[in-house]
Structure 1
Amino acid sequence: MSTSEQYKPGYVPSFQPQDSIPGHQHKLDPEPHDIELADGSKYKPAGKLQGKKAFVSGGDSGIGRSVAILFALEGADLSIVHLPEKQKDAEDTVAKIHEYTAGKRTVQLLALDLTKEDNRKKAIDAHIKAFGALDSLILNHGTQKAVESILDLSSELWHHVFDTNIHSFFYLVKAALPHMHKGGTMVFNASVNPFVGHPGLVDYTSTKGAMVAFARALSNQIVGEKGIRVNVVCPGPIWTPLIPATMTEDSQKSFGSKVPMKRPGQPVEVATCFVFLASPDSGYLSGQTMHPNGGSYLG
């Protein structure tokens, strides 16, 4: 399928359920766009992150993969954290980075489950050991599972979603902050859902709202004293492996059709926001949210 087809209003990916969460990118048909833009061109780097050392969680697939690729194109070396079962997707990401950068960037893969407290510090320590610096902390990993009624939402799922989506962010920030210096950036991947209140994702929506509040408070604590900026990206419906792995058939068949642009977004359309927020271009932004959501107004 051509790039232009996936960017046309009315386009919806075919129903293709996956039996594991958060899903595998190599099983998607078509695969999401990492660098191909809506006008048919490819992302044009400008050295915005030259020489930087970045940490990207969930960088094996979806939005995280595109973030990792664009950061590498902009000149950053990086650590990519991924679940052990996502090894193929992670290796595919590294292969794409080497292809697009002609092998000029260094990438470290860390197969770690970030719901485990020890693994959060282990991940940051491994990054520092490999690169000696941490300029951008990009926390993108997350999970969800649609449950229509709160009466059917188990305690186990509630705790797992919070452990993945917000508790791990707290521990990763605590481990990373001592290694970061003035000019450093943190960018978190939240969601449109806390601004609209998704009825089938009560737990997920709650964690993403907590993430926005966490970032705002953290920014107010460190941006003046330490000069480290903290911002959040809040995507709308984006075509990633999480969608076929967690959404019902009815939801998938209408995925992205309700936003003004009448199509799902592509990972590259979100990853560009991360590049902006990690670069000096956004030097006067901290504690803010960006909304790549297909035109929905959230005022």
Structure 2
Amino acid sequence: MATSLRPRRSVLYMPGSNARALEKARTLPADCLILDLEDAVAPDAKEVARTQVAAAVKAGGFGLREVFIRINGLDTPWGAADLEAAAAAAPDVILIPKVSDPEDLVRIGRVLAEAGTPEATRVWAMMETPRAMLAALEIADAARDPLTRLAGFVMGTNDLAKDTRARWVPGRAPMLPWLMTCVAAARANGLDIADGVYNALADEEGFKRECAEARDLGFDGKTLIHPNQVAPCNAAFSPTPEEVAWSRTVIAAFDAPEASGKGALQVEGRMVERLHAEMARRVVAIASSIAAREGA
């Protein structure tokens, strides 16, 4: 299973109960949009949100943006109806909250199969419970069963902090073991993974710092709670011109006829191996995909 090279730098939550927000979502420079039926929607607005989100997805007009619908949990009064509506609307992704066991994903997969939802609609899992942290690899391994359609993880760090009582501190040291466990589990199964949200909207420098930290930890992108966070997030998770130039140099070195059969080369005074060439090809592919998206 190969990780997709589709950019997923910015993953913006939009409340499904807010019709104006759903319309605005079609114009925002986010790579992914989560049309939310869960945390962002009050109980008395759940049914209206479900109807609005399903209609918005069916209407389309989101361009190259990847559209997620986050449903309520199947153990809530709204979850079953949410899943039915999402299955019929067929977004790019259905996001399942509070996944704690692989069997949760098997059940979802059966519903989607019975509903005839196109195979192009994938499933992502919210990783946000203590039990999920202890079962991260088993949950990620569910991607090996095509029925589950599992293609990615989203970290639900607010719920994780609530349930574990871990404190929010700069650098998120209490959460680092869980974050890296989920990154490793995702990568072991060819899944993409998005970091959790940054709550302090007024703290722009803190947000940029956490984006950089998440990028360095290996995340593909970060979930966002406000459109103002999209641009700095995209910048943090995009390869720099220098990284792209170096990657092209490495690729050219290994593509040269004289490099045939060699496992390592010296390039501009640095020793690089074929694994570095593979990494370089990914950097160039992501940069090209971003450039195509921004030029569209």
TM-score range, shorter chain: 0.3 to 0.5
**Bigger fraction of residues in helix:** 2
Question: What TM-score results when the alignment is normalised by the length of structure 1?
Answer: 0.38
The structure with higher relative contact order (CA 8 Å, sep 6+) is 1
More strand per residue: 1 or 2? 2
Q: Which has the larger radius of gyration?
A: 2
